[in-house]
Chain A
């Protein structure tokens, strides 16, 4: 249950912060962040670390889930490119006709 709250919360806050819903095209090779990926992955990953450590704060972890959802959306919006920079040479794998 807390997982659903974390996923929904992170996606909604990410959309409020004007992240695009889907990554830019081409979808499967894009390094751009978006609301559907990777925001919810980060949110549920950190939430399950808290749950495994038996730290659930109030209301069976629902408040914790909401807080982590908001924080992970903020992280993806403002800090993500600083922590995980995009690869420098963007065409490294694409020039196949050499």
Chain B
């Protein structure tokens, strides 16, 4: 498959994977640590959504499904499916060191491994997923935090995971 098209497809799949898993496991609902809450309040002050702000803060402060997807792609590139599972194990250790229960990270890692395995039949390589995941995180954190947080807040509302206030 053409590399550019593959990277675009991989970026979309990664974005959906980690946003859905993270939202389902309640990242927008509450801030796990103090740093995440400060980021959330700051994003809200700049015209964003508090739930989206907590989401971004939690992604920044501990390895969640975003880091899980990235680590799973790297592990899969190096060692195949066992690499993805080892990545889930390492993400779990990292979660516990960051005072995070770790459900989102490990689940995201395993689902990402499954997605990479399934899409390898249509010609997507793990390298495309690494690049795609970097692009996906860039769209969440890098372009316009306030506007993206509004979108994330809407997704959170749809999953019934909006911040309780």
Residue of B85, B90, B164 with most chain A CB atoms under a 10 A cut-off: B85
Is B30 in contact with A92, judged by CB distance below 8 angstroms?
Answer: no
| B99-A87 in contact (CB<8A) | yes
Number of residues from A at the complex interface, CB < 8 A: 23
A92-B34, A93-B30 are contacts. A45–B86 as well, Cβ < 8 Å? yes
Q: Pick the contact of A38 from B34, B86, B106 — CB < 8 Å?
A: B106
**Nearest chain-A residue to B90 (Cβ)?**
A45
- Inter-chain contacts of B103 with A (CB < 8 A): 28, 37
- Given known contacts A38-B92, A38-B106, A93-B37, A30 and B86 CB-to-CB distance under 8 angstroms: no
A44 and B30 form a contact (CB under 8 A): no
Chain B interface residue count: which class?
20 to 34
Q: Which residues of B contact A62 (CB under 8 A)?
A: none
Nearest residue (CB) in B for A88 is B99
Closest beta carbon of chain A to B18's beta carbon, Å: 16
Q: Name which residue of chain B comes closest to A3, CB basis.
A: B85
Contact B85 A93, beta carbon cutoff 8 Å: no
Residues of A within 8 A of B90 (CB): 45
Are A28 and B26 closer than 8 Å at their CB atoms? yes
Candidates B31, B82, B99; contact of A51 at CB < 8 Å: B82
